[in-house]
């Protein structure tokens, strides 16, 4: 049967990937089953909980609500794409240090929503963090530590960019 399905191309975490799948298959299932990227979790399956959040062409989406045909040609980033060169992303580091993860089911979605927020707004207020993560439900932590993790990651980024500009200044001299 699979021979009848179209071959769809997308860039996933920077790699070109091709899958053969029914066009109405959920992006979530293609990621988990066809591409074996099981970091993305299914919670509610109806766009309410955010566990399946991934970034698609620079936007945060619930991958359970994306028919894979609509991801044709798209750039997808999943939680597996956050860490680079064997080093955790500052958000992942912050979630570890601040106790932002407990059972872990919501964590990949929280990380992707937080990554989306910081990409648009590197220094969010608490209210902006709450809004950015409002579509991601956690049933363990009570959210406070998750918000603290995002604040810590944003502070780390700020420190990093301060260091970088200090270095650049030093280089310039």
**Nearest residue to 35 (alpha-carbon basis) of 53, 20, 50:** 20
In the bound complex, what is the minimum distance in angstroms from residue 103's beta carbon to another protein?
A: 20
Give the span between the Cα atoms of 18 and 30, in whole angstroms. Answer: 11
Residues 6+ apart with CB under 8 A from 91: 82, 111, 114, 115, 118, 149, 150, 153
Give the span between the Cα atoms of 43 and 126, in whole angstroms. Answer: 25
In the bound complex, what is the minimum distance in angstroms from residue 89's beta carbon to another protein?
A: 19
In the bound complex, what is the minimum distance in angstroms from residue 114's beta carbon to another protein?
A: 11
Tell me whether residue 63 or residue 141 sits nearer to another protein (CB atom). 63
Tell me whether residue 84 or residue 134 sits nearer to another protein (CB atom). 134
Residue pair 23/29 in contact by the 8 Å Cβ criterion: no
Judged by the rule CB under 8 A, the positions of this chain that interact with another protein are 1, 21-26, 29, 45-48, 50, 53, 59-62, 64-67, 69-70, 72, 113, 116-117, 131-132, 134-136
Residues 6+ apart with CB under 8 A from 49: 43, 106, 109, 135, 136, 137
In the bound complex, what is the minimum distance in angstroms from residue 26's beta carbon to another protein?
A: 7
Give Cα separations from 37 to 27, 33, 148 (angstroms): 11, 7, 28
Tell me whether residue 50 or residue 90 sits nearer to another protein (CB atom). 50
In the bound complex, what is the minimum distance in angstroms from residue 8's beta carbon to another protein?
A: 10
Tell me whether residue 24 or residue 172 sits nearer to another protein (CB atom). 24
Tell me whether residue 77 or residue 136 sits nearer to another protein (CB atom). 136
């Amino acid at each position: 049967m699979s021979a009848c399905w179209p071959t769809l191309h997308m860039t996933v975490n920077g790699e070109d990937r091709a899958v053969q799948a029914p066009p109405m298959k959920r992006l979530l299932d293609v990621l988990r089953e066809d591409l074996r990227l099981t970091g993305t979790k299914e919670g509610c399956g109806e766009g309410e909980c955010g566990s399946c959040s991934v970034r698609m062409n620079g936007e945060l989406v619930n991958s359970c609500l994306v028919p894979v045909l609509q991801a044709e040609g798209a750039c997808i980033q999943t939680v597996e794409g956050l860490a680079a060169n064997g080093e955790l992303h500052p958000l992942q580091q912050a979630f570890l240090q601040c106790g932002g993860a407990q059972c872990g089911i919501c964590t990949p979605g929280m990380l992707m929503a937080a990554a989306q927020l910081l990409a648009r707004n590197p220094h969010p207020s608490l209210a902006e963090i709450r809004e950015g993560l409002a579509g991601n439900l956690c049933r363990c932590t009570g959210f406070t530590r998750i918000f603290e993790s995002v604040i810590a990651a944003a502070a780390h980024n700020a420190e990093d960019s301060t260091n970088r500009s200090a270095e650049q200044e030093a280089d310039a001299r």
